[in-house]
Every structure is written in structure tokens, then in C-alpha cells.
Amino acid sequence: MNIDFTGKTVIITGGGKGVGLGITRCFLASGATVVICSRSELESLPEVNGNRAHFVAADVRDVEQVNRVVDHVQTTFGRLDVLVNNAGGAPHADAATASPRFSEKIIALNLLAPLNFAQAANRVMQQQADGGVIINIASVSGERPSPGTAAYGAAKAGLLNLTKSLAVEWAPKVRVTAVTCGMIRTEQAHLHYGDDAGIAAVEATVPLNRLANPEDIGNACLFLASPLAAYVSGGSLLVHGGGEKPAFLDAGNAQH
């Protein structure tokens, strides 16, 4: 099924690598004008079928820089149809010893930055006849315990609630949704899951027997941003391969 975003403008935060790159490629393939926003300059801009992404450097935690990105997109392209709040993440940290400054930075990146970016995008979208769509990239870490990344899990839980609230406040012009992601195989998967054998062992715990690839998340975003999801707002689409089998099933001696 082809979803056509020709003539539409999309901002993807952190869209130059990892999950964000998969999302970028999906929107480029659909014909969208894609603007990637991140702190680091890209060695090369993603391109699909001759459709090349644009880049604006900005730290999404800085409200003034966020506003400049949105103003630039509106001035340059005349409209903003979709915002994908993808930038995020967190290194492993023991909750007992993590510094307050560390926790503040994690929450700023994973919760406050999406809120601030959504506010800036909403101001533009509310003025457009056909409104717009905001998609927040959430995580299963926001729905289950997140040991080693407690602040991140708390921020992602907040992001899911934020999605619901904004969907109510900004309707009917702007739809606000989320994609709740499970484990994803990116270029940094080895940092989380180890070598190929470790990744294979982790994949065996997923009902679909594999990790997601970035394009799986990108395709979910395409659906949520498209007219096919015209009545979807305030909810989250679970993209986790069936989730995680409850630990007690393997821990006990009962027959299953």
C-alpha cells in the first residue's frame, strides 16, 4: 500500500540515525519534504528515490532553537504537516547514584523537549485549514519497570500521558498520537544486547522472533500521519512484536 505525502512537510527530530533514520526514509519514500533536526551535522543527507532530506541544526532541549526550526520550516516550505518527536534516549545509570543533573537532562530530552516542540508545531498547524499531526515516539519502558534507565522510563510514561492531554486540547485541528516501541535493532544495538549471539538470544524472547527494524517504526508513523488514521488521536500504537513473555512462565516448574 502506497501512502502519498507529496506536498507535505515533515519535521523529524533526531532523524539522521537509528530509529529516526528509518522514519526519515519512510517519509522520503512517500514523497514528503522531510526536515531533520538534530544537534550534530550529518555526513550526508538521507535520500530515497531522488528525494533528499533537509537539515537544520538545533538542540531540541533549547526552546529558542526549537522555535527557530519551526519558524524556518514555515518560512521556507510554507507549511508544517507532521512533527515526529523522535529524539531521545538514555545511557544506563543506577537510580541510587544518578546525579540530579543527569536525571534532569534525561527528562528534559525525553519529555520536556517533545512538549516544547509540539507547542511550536501546534501554533503553525492550528492556522492551517487541514491542521496537522504530531507523533511522539514512546517506549515500552514507559509502561513497565525500566531498571537502569529509571528517569528515561518515567519520562516516556509522561510522554504517553502528554499525548492524551494534547490530543484533547488541540483537537479537532491537530491529531496527537504516539508509537510505543519495543526493542529495535539499530547500529547501536550491540551496546544494549551484546554481540550477534546476544542479539539472537534477545530476539528469541520476542513472540515475532526478531527485533524491530527502524523502518517498522517508520511505517507505523506513516500510518498514523496518513488519512487512514484520520480518527486516531490520543492513543498509542504498540509496535513491539507481541511484547515480552511473562518471566514467571519460565521460572516455575508447572507445565505450560
Residue 192's pLDDT band (boundaries 50, 70, 90)?
Answer: low
Looking at the predicted structure, is the pLDDT value of residue 99 above 90? yes
Provide the pLDDT for residue 108.
98
Provide the pLDDT for residue 194.
74
Nearest Cα residue to 77 out of 33, 107, 42: 33
Contact predicate 223/84, CB 8 Å: no
Residue-averaged pLDDT of the chain = 94
What SS3 class is residue 181?
strand
Q: Which of 5, 152, 170, 193 is catalytic?
A: 152
Provide the pLDDT for residue 248.
85
Provide the pLDDT for residue 245.
81
In CATH, the number for domain 9-238 is 3.40.50.720
Contact predicate 135/84, CB 8 Å: yes
At 13-35, the pLDDT tens digits run: 999 999 999 999 999 999 999 99
Residue 4's pLDDT band (boundaries 50, 70, 90)?
Answer: very high
Name the percent of the chain lying above pLDDT 70. 96
Provide the pLDDT for residue 91.
93
Reading the block at residue 109, the C-alpha cell is 530530552
Q: Tell me phi and psi for residue 177, to 5 degrees.
A: -135, 175
Looking at the predicted structure, is the pLDDT value of residue 191 above 70? no
Greater model confidence, 251 or 47: 47
Looking at the predicted structure, is the pLDDT value of residue 256 above 60? no
Provide the pLDDT for residue 198.
84
At 42-77, the pLDDT tens digits run: 989 999 999 999 999 999 999 999 999 999 999 999
CA distance 9 to 104: 32
Looking at the predicted structure, is the pLDDT value of residue 189 above 80? no
Contact predicate 178/136, CB 8 Å: yes
The two beta strands, 132-139 and 9-13, are unpaired
CA distance 100 to 65: 24
Q: Tell me phi and psi for residue 174, to 5 degrees.
A: -120, 125
Provide the pLDDT for residue 254.
56
Provide the pLDDT for residue 255.
56
Reading the block at residue 202, the C-alpha cell is 534477545
Greater model confidence, 68 or 252: 68
CA distance 176 to 167: 5
Contact predicate 219/28, CB 8 Å: no
Provide the pLDDT for residue 10.
98
What would the mean pLDDT of 247-254 be, rounded to a whole number?
Answer: 75
Provide the pLDDT for residue 8.
98
Task: Among 44-48, 199-203, 212-216, 221-225, name the one with the lowest average pLDDT.
Answer: 199-203
**Active-site residue 152, yes or no?**
yes
What's the count of helices (H) and strands (E) in the chain, helices before strands?
9, 9
Provide the pLDDT for residue 185.
81
Looking at the predicted structure, is the pLDDT value of residue 97 above 90? yes
Using only the alpha carbons of the chain, give its radius of gyration. 18
Provide the pLDDT for residue 253.
63
